[in-house]
């Protein structure tokens, strides 16, 4: 039986990635995302103040947003992220030690993988899904080809996903996508245009849920 988080991920289909956004605008961005219908928000650990941000977001949006930590490169970072309140861990790389730790803690870990060997290794180590990365370079055909023999392993496609191709990526077999700057637009954030961020979030949510904007 998939965990509650995996069920939610399969239903919501979008993980937004916040990288390099300071605390105050980060909270306003999270509010805009939540108002736009986004549920999954990953804060990358290579952002300044990422751990306090995770704690603050958990406190403020618990029940509305599923807050996770991204760019978790090793066991030390994994422990810090879990201590800060991250509900899931995502990385650009595969480190079995991090997966074992997450499984032990009862937390989802979605490691970055590219090759069939890495995908299978990650799944064998206990990852409930893998992040196929960099999707922008690999392309949709790669996803289709790798899904053919490995369709039992849930894959999150990250990189190069936009409003025009998101449904093609999902149709090719990804259970969800990772989205960064195409929703969490740094220019809009620096200009304080959080309503525009909300509209972007809403557009992506409508696209994957098949809703039509009125």
pLDDT, residue 214, reads 39
To the query of whether residue 118 is one of the catalytic residues in this protein, the response is no
Q: In this predicted model, what pLDDT tens digit does every residue of 100-112 receive, in sequence order?
A: 999 999 999 999 9
CATH superfamily of 4-206: Aldolase class I (3.20.20.70)
Percent of the chain with pLDDT over 90: 97
Q: Of 42, 56, 108, 207, which residue is the catalytic one?
A: 42
Domain boundaries, given as residue ranges, for the chain: 4-206
Is 42 assigned a catalytic role? yes
- Residues 6 or more apart in contact with residue 132 via CB below 8 angstroms: 113, 114, 119, 138, 142, 143, 146, 155, 156, 157, 158, 174
Write down the catalytic residue from 13, 56, 87, 131: 131
Q: Measured between alpha carbons, how far is 72 from 83 in angstroms, rounded to an integer?
A: 13
pLDDT in tens, 156-179: 999 999 999 999 999 999 999 999
Tally Cβ neighbours within 10 Å of residue 79. Answer: 14
Query: What are 61-99's pLDDT values in tens digits?
Result: 999 999 999 999 999 999 999 999 999 999 999 999 999
Q: Is the pLDDT of residue 12 over 90?
A: yes
Residue 211 has pLDDT above 80, yes or no: no
pLDDT over 90 at 134, yes or no:
yes
Nearest-CA neighbor of 6 among 140, 141, 126? 126
Backbone φ and ψ for 51, nearest 5 degrees, come out as: -65, -50
The count of other CB atoms within 10 Å of the CB of residue 176 is 26
pLDDT, tens digit (0-9, with 9 covering 90-100), for 41-57: 999 999 999 999 999 99
Identify the band that residue 213 occupies on the pLDDT scale cut at 50, 70 and 90. Answer: very low
Q: Report the percent of the chain where pLDDT is more than 70.
A: 98
Provide the token pair at 175: 């259970």
* Separation CA 106–CA 176 (nearest Å): 21
Output the pLDDT for position 116. 98
How many Cβ atoms are within 10 Å of 209's Cβ, its own excluded? 12
Nearest to 136 by CA among 109, 114, 120, 110: 114
Q: Contact 111/153 with Cβ under 8 angstroms? A: no
Averaged pLDDT score across all residues of the chain = 96
């Amino acid at each position: 039986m998939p965990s509650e988080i995996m069920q939610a991920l399969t239903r919501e289909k979008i993980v937004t990635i916040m990288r390099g956004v300071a605390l105050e605008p980060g909270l306003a961005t999270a509010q805009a995302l939540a108002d736009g219908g986004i549920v999954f928000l990953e804060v990358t650990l290579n952002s300044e103040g990422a751990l306090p941000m995770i704690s603050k977001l958990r406190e403020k949006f618990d029940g509305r947003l599923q807050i996770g930590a991204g760019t978790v490169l090793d066991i030390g970072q994994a422990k810090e992220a879990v201590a800060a309140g991250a509900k899931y861990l995502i990385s650009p790389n595969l480190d079995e030690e991090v997966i074992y730790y997450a499984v032990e803690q009862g937390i989802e870990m979605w490691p970055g993988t590219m090759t069939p060997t890495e995908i299978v290794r990650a799944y064998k180590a206990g990852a409930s899904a893998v992040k196929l990365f960099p999707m922008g370079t690999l392309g949709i055909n790669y996803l289709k080809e790798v899904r053919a023999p490995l369709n039992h392993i849930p894959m999150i496609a990250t990189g190069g996903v936009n409003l025009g191709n998101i449904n093609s990526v999902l149709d090719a077999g990804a259970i969800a996508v990772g989205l960064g700057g195409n929703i969490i637009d740094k220019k809009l954030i620096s200009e304080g245009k959080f309503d525009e961020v909300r509209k972007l979030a809403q557009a992506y949510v409508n696209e994957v849920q098949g809703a039509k904007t009125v």
